[in-house]
Structure 1
Amino acid sequence: MAAPGGCWPAKDRPRAVPSLTRQRSAAASGIVLVLRFGAGAVLNYGLGVVLAWMLTPSQFGSVSVLQNVQFLCSALLSAGFPWALTGIIAQADARLGVDAAYRAALVGNLGVGALLALIFVGAQIARGVVPGASVATVAVIAATIAMTAVSTTLQGGLHGERRFDGLGFMQTTGIGVKVALTLMLVSLVQLRIGGAAIGFLGGAVVATAVGVWALRDQLPRPGPMAWRATTSRALSMAIATSAVSLILTTDVVALSLIGQRHGVSAGDIAVYQAAAVLARAPYFAAEALSSAVFPFIAKAETAASVRSWFLAAFRWVPLALVPLQLILLVTPETALALFFPASYERGADLLRILAVGTLGLLSAEMLLKTLYARGLTASLARRVPIALAVQAVALGVAVPRWGTVGAAVAFAVGSWTGAIVLGHLFVSHYGASWPSRRLAMRYPLALVPLVIMLAAADVVPELPALAVIVVGLALYAVTAVRARLVRDEDVTRVLTFLRRLRPKRGAAQA
């Protein structure tokens, strides 16, 4: 196992055709998952942008609620049994008990999926959670939830086995099919909400098929199930992880359930969703980073090693994710104008608030994965719901008074509450590690060129503004490397990875 920032083992070097069953080190898996995030983000966010142009604001608002319902169910189904399975596999020294954990996780998550499907159908009948959804669309959504229960469990197995190529291919393929099918049905067949629902189901089916293939040598035959060990671990983790997932999605659902009774229209929800699409992209990048180091944190033997692995992933937050959020804070109008129709530009203030909240939530998510990897599930189950409760109270108070702005503020408050609570728990167990004064001074200096270019982008038309933003990011990257904020081995590793994606002809023929 390579140490954080260490050399790249020869067995982890990329090949022309990645094997879905091979294991990777932390360095290689981090790049694989971040590249997977990049591909998935382009597809997912591209879908959101295209639908915003194809649909009326009212239709896009309804589809946005559908997307958040599906994401929430997927997050809830990923929270318990899949992460329990990941932890059991990562910490196991032998296959003894792993097969029983696989069986328990699959059956248990199917039960959770069935329960969520029933809850959704009941809520849709009683309150109309997804505006304008037909009976057939509701049935498709329920089927997607059930299929997602299987696919998320398979993702947990691939994660624990460190088969990150298979995990990345499974997720990217599922997203690609979802996007292609949704766009085809919405544009050619003129299905609106129903087309999006069918697209989500198609993506879940394909992702499940890929997951089964990638785990074909590990999936057990029928036999005994480790109910006690798997369920107890899943329950504790589900409480904490579900709370973080609810913080991420509850604001949009609350706008539909609460806001519609206080003057919030589907068009307002559409504007909010457009801002959320841009603001929350870094969260998923942070999720990829924390997932990459999870198996290695689980096997760390000392507190110093745990802290080192965590910082190996978290240091990319200020280095790569904060600069991206600065774009949304300094020039939100330009960001919205580049991706969405003019009617969505009124979401600029929402975008600023949501960007601040996202930084808190991605910090909380990375801390959560680290602490869970160390088995602190009971402490997490007690603390993380505090942040969700804070957000729920804020939503109940703020949405009736301030509508979408109130929802954005509630999201930011809940997110930073979670980051503070989990940060305190992490420090109490593993201590704090602060950068040197010299390094801390280099960071804001590296950001100066970017901030200047962003300020300039805010006063020029959209297309020139995009070029100015790109130049600002390039200047920041060069400055960060020259200021030694980015390690030489990081630059070398990325360049090596990119070069090896283009193998020599002889190697390919072999």
Structure 2
Amino acid sequence: MLSLTRQRSAAASGVILVLRFGVGAVLNYSLGVILAWMLTPAQFGSVSVLQNVQFLCAALLSAGFPWALTGIIAQADARLGVDAAYRAALVGNIAFGAVLALAFTGVQITRGVVPGISVMTVAVIAATIAITSVSTTLQGALHGERRFDGLSFMQTTSIGAKVALTLMLAVVVQLRIGAAAVGFLGGAIAATVVGAWALRDRLPRPGPMAWRATTSRALSMAVATSAVSLILTTDVVALSLIGQRHGVSAEDMAVYQAAAVLARAPYFMAETLSSAVFPFIAKAETAASVRSWFLAAYRWVPLALVPLQLVLLVAPETALALFFPAPYGGGADLLRILAVGALGLLTADMLLKTLYARGMTAPLARRVPIALLVEAVALVIAVPRWGTTGAAAAFALGSWTGAIVLGHLFVSRYGAYWPSRRAVMRYPLALAPLVILLATADVVPELPALAVIAVGLALYAVTAVRARLVRDEDVARVWTFLRRLRPKRRAAQA
């Protein structure tokens, strides 16, 4: 039963967050697909830049104080000092949100980073940034308290409100680009209300603030986490700021965004896995325990996420045709490059969360910006020459630089793990039927192709279980969950 104030175990929180991602992904991706069909490519290109600006601001606001609050709460053995950290995180993030809102307004007025929006839309975006500063802090608190029911409900409500408002305004009022801005504002307000309610017994009254400890931790973490968020969004923003002066049109940005929407889905799935184990990594007492918790989350990357990435690599035309109108079909090559980059970025992000949970803020602050610098230099060089293809390549280069740098840091502190020779041999054998069917799907009509992809993924799942790539206890958990559903279904039918 859903309880917004209940603490959850790692296994239960993983299930809850994955389910939340499933619901949120359906809503978010449905919104993107619907807007792609409703709007002209030029309008969709502008909305894409708007969405990336909003995501970047939300990511920056989540990077420092919320993660610092998560770590402080997760590591605290008692409430002593936690209330002071709550106060400092809220005040600090609200101030940062005000700075971001003013910065966005100034850049939009002088450079026009989001093309084709009105003054009223700019004001709505600035208000959304300010409210997001509160909601992200509450999200960090829920995460640290291990209240994953409340966290998931907060995020799902935010997405639902955003989607409902955007579609209502786009269809009924014909706002088009402005509808997305109002939708983000509604989602931020809904998230704040739910988050405050889920933390109603934890929110402190006025009192002293642990300003120095919270701020120093937040600043160290903000550098590293912000760099990862910038890697994820800088390519689209750079296409708008740099590309428009070198022949990149709004239609080109729309095609790029369509490919990015599909390519980056596994990144957000991996984020839920690392979020589920973060509090437990923070509490781990030995290096072996840290490595074990990280591997408990990361092992699902090759088992579940790589097969999904193969769909995008082997059959990109089919993937785009299934979700987007014909004008977006030219993004197949972009989709391949972005999918490779997304795999590197999700690896970097999972390593980042693990290392931060262990308090390694200073080494992270020194290393992660290297990856962002690599991407920024590549964007400046590649976008004027190769347009959207250059942006995709820069994103992939920056992402894998981050994965390599953080992987080296993790191994140097916690040691390496090598899978057994038997698992290494069985893994490509399990993937082989999927790859063959995906190659077939890319040369048949759309509806049969969808069936072929579904069969390929199902066949891979069965093969992975039979080859014991999936642990027996994971299979047992699934069967236990399904058995628990049966009495409920019979009772409902009775």
Code of the residue aligned with 1:174 in structure 2: it is S
Shift of 1:507: 9.7
Q: In 1, distance between residues paired with 2:164 and 2:314?
A: 34
Aligned-CA RMSD value? 1.2
Q: In 1, distance between residues paired with 2:265 and 2:69?
A: 27
Code of the residue aligned with 1:491 in structure 2: it is V
Alignment of 1:231-310 (within 5 A): 231-310=215-294
Residue 82 of structure 1 pairs with residue 66 of structure 2: yes
Give the structure 2 partner of residue 8 of structure 1: none
Give the structure 1 partner of residue 92 of structure 2: 108
Code of the residue aligned with 1:312 in structure 2: it is A
Structure 1 pair 394–436 and aligned structure 2 pair: CA distance change class (3 A) = same
TM-score (norm 2): 0.98
Give the structure 2 partner of residue 323 of structure 1: 307
Identity %: 86
Residue 42 of structure 1 pairs with residue 26 of structure 2: yes
2:150 aligned residue (153, 166, 171):
166
Alignment of 1:113-192 (within 5 A): 113-192=97-176
Code of the residue aligned with 1:283 in structure 2: it is Y
Output one character per residue of 1:182-229: Cα deviation in whole Å (capped at 9) or x when no partner.
Answer: 011011110011111001100110111000010000000111110011
Residue 25 of structure 1 pairs with residue 12 of structure 2: no
Give the structure 2 partner of residue 374 of structure 1: 358
Secondary structure of residue in 2 paired with 1:68: helix
Q: In 1, distance between residues paired with 2:34 and 2:272?
A: 25
Residue 226 of structure 1 pairs with residue 210 of structure 2: yes
Shift of 1:144: 0.3
Code of the residue aligned with 2:37 in structure 1: it is W
Give the structure 2 partner of residue 60 of structure 1: 44
Q: In 1, distance between residues paired with 2:11 and 2:186?
A: 32
Code of the residue aligned with 1:71 in structure 2: it is F
Shift of 1:503: 6.2
Q: In 2, distance between residues paired with 1:320 and 1:492?
A: 17
Q: In 1, distance between residues paired with 2:247 and 2:362?
A: 41
Q: In 1, distance between residues paired with 2:122 and 2:478?
A: 44
Shift of 1:500: 4.0
1:451 aligned residue (411, 435, 442):
435
Code of the residue aligned with 1:399 in structure 2: it is V
Shift of 1:501: 5.6
Give the structure 2 partner of residue 425 of structure 1: 409
Give the structure 1 partner of residue 81 of structure 2: 97
Shift of 1:496: 2.8
The unaligned stretches of length 5 or more in structure 2 are none
Give the structure 2 partner of residue 468 of structure 1: 452
Code of the residue aligned with 2:243 in structure 1: it is G
Q: In 1, distance between residues paired with 2:171 and 2:489?
A: 41
Residue 441 of structure 1 pairs with residue 432 of structure 2: no
Q: In 2, distance between residues paired with 1:40 and 1:233?
A: 30
TM-score (norm 1): 0.95
Structure 1 pair 503–231 and aligned structure 2 pair: CA distance change class (3 A) = farther
Q: In 1, distance between residues paired with 2:117 and 2:489?
A: 52
Count of residue pairs the alignment pairs up = 492
Output one character per residue of 1:401-450: Cα deviation in whole Å (capped at 9) or x when no partner.
Answer: 00000000000000000000000000000000100101111100000110
The unaligned stretches of length 5 or more in structure 1 are 1-14
Output one character per residue of 1:221-276: Cα deviation in whole Å (capped at 9) or x when no partner.
Answer: 11111001100000000000000000000000000000000000000000000000
Give the structure 2 partner of residue 3 of structure 1: none
Shift of 1:495: 3.4
Shift of 1:506: 11
Shift of 1:497: 3.3
Give the structure 2 partner of residue 361 of structure 1: 345
Secondary structure of residue in 1 paired with 2:173: coil
Shift of 1:492: 2.0
